Amino acid sequence: MKLNDLQPNEGAKKDRKRVGRGLGAGQGKTAGRGTKGQGSRSGEGGHLYRQGGNLPFYRRLPFIRGEGFTPPNQVEYNEVSLEQLARFEAGTEVTREVLAAENMLRKAKNPVVILGNGELNVALKVRVQRVTKGAREKIESAGGSVEIVA
């Protein structure tokens, strides 16, 4: 078999309709566009913005205009500052479940990030999803430990 022997299966390809090639061709004269009216003229289809009363394409898609679009795989964290952790007793293991029980989280299912705002004088065992560098230094200088969990 050679390259010039290759051809598509019978019926896989269809000849395109040649419109406007005379009355005997089956699609002559008006070429399937009907008579008169907007759709019969060349250049019909218009602009994307013109949609005959519907909300235009550009306004239906907020991310094209640069506002209101949220990336689908963006991670939303519960932010907890060090000054909020100061209420726990020394030696407490701070996890997402403990923080949720204390009503310190907006959405209990979201991961937790500890921010370095404020001071911490209590030694805590922190087991959360994320900790900022400043917060880690302050927790460890207070005698606590930080463990990152998945």
Picking from 129, 120, 91, the residue whose alpha carbon sits closest to that of residue 137 is 120
60 in a structural domain: no
Number of domains in the chain: 1
Query: Which residues constitute the domain of residue 116?
Result: 78-148
Is 128 within 8 Å of 148 (Cβ atoms)? yes
Which CATH number covers residue 138? Answer: 3.100.10.10
pTM over 0.75: no
* Residue 38: band (very low, low, confident or very high) from pLDDT cuts 50, 70, 90: confident
Q: What is the pLDDT of residues 3-13, one digit of tens each?
A: 999 999 999 99
d(CA 53, CA 146): 58
Is pLDDT at 65 greater than 90 in this prediction? no
Alpha-carbon Rg for the chain in angstroms: 33
66 in a structural domain: no
Q: What pLDDT score was predicted for residue 59?
A: 76
23 in a structural domain: no
User: Which residue shows structure tokens 């896989």?
Assistant: 12
64 in a structural domain: no
Picking from 147, 145, 148, the residue whose alpha carbon sits closest to that of residue 90 is 145
